[in-house]
Structure formats: C-alpha cells, structure tokens
Amino acid sequence: MTSAPKAPPAGTRPPTKHELAAMIWLAVFPTLTVLNLALGGWLGALSPVLRTFVLATIAVPIVIYGLMPQLHRLRGHLLARATPRRQGT
C-alpha cells in the first residue's frame, strides 16, 4: 500500500514560469546526461530521430514522476524556510 504524496507546506505559491523552467532544466539535463552515458554505445547505432525517441521515452517518465515531485517538494521547503514566521498574532 502506498501513501498519498505529501502536500507542499501551506501558503506555498505555485512556481513562476522562470522557477518552473529552472526546475525542469535541473531535472532534464542530468537525466539526459546519465542516459546518454549509460546507453551511448547502443544509441550511437540509431538514427538521430530514433535515438531522440528512445531518450524521450525513457527520460520523460523519470522526470515527471520521479524528479519533478522531489523538486517541487524541495522548493516548498526552501520557500517555507525563507518565509519569516509570525510570532504571537
């Protein structure tokens, strides 16, 4: 049985376009680098279109289901720590 994903801290605003672009880059670049290093020999024999198709087919689920939720959670924690807490209101 899996537990429900943890919600970001209360009051966390959605990411701006720039923050989201940076988060996507932080997830996509290392994923593609690792995949190219791991599969480079095999992918080198494929045409560029087929190579891109294989990489995208593997990388997109890793990024969307594995890395982006972690980055959103990290962003929420960083924003929560940066927000001054109200005392006695």
Does residue 9 lie in a domain region?
A: no
Instruction: Report if residue 43 sits inside a domain.
Output: yes
What is the predicted pLDDT for the residue at 12?
73
Query: Distances from the Cα of 29 to the Cαs of 53, 54, 69, 79, 83, in angstroms?
Result: 16, 16, 16, 24, 29
Res. 80: pLDDT tops 80: yes
Are the beta carbons of 12 and 79 closer than 8 angstroms? yes
Report yes or no on 7 lying in a domain: no
pLDDT at 4: 59
**Residue 42 maps to a domain:** yes
Q: Which pLDDT score is estimated for 68?
A: 97
**C-alpha–C-alpha distance, residues 43 and 55, integer Å:** 9
Q: How many domains does the chain have?
A: 1
Give the pLDDT confidence score for residue 20 in this predicted structure: 96
Rounded to whole angstroms, the Cα distance separating 56 from 59 reads: 5
Q: pTM for the whole thing?
A: 0.75
Structure confidence by residue, pLDDT tens digits, 8-56: 555 678 999 999 999 999 999 999 999 999 999 999 999 999 999 999 9
Residue 2 lies in a domain: no
For residue 5, being part of any structural domain is answered with no
Instruction: Answer whether residue 73 is part of any domain.
Output: yes
Instruction: Assess if residue 89 is contained within a domain.
Output: no
Q: Mind listing the pLDDT tens digit for each residue in 51-70?
A: 999 999 999 999 999 999 99
Q: Which domain holds residue 63?
A: 17-81
Amino acid identity at 31? T
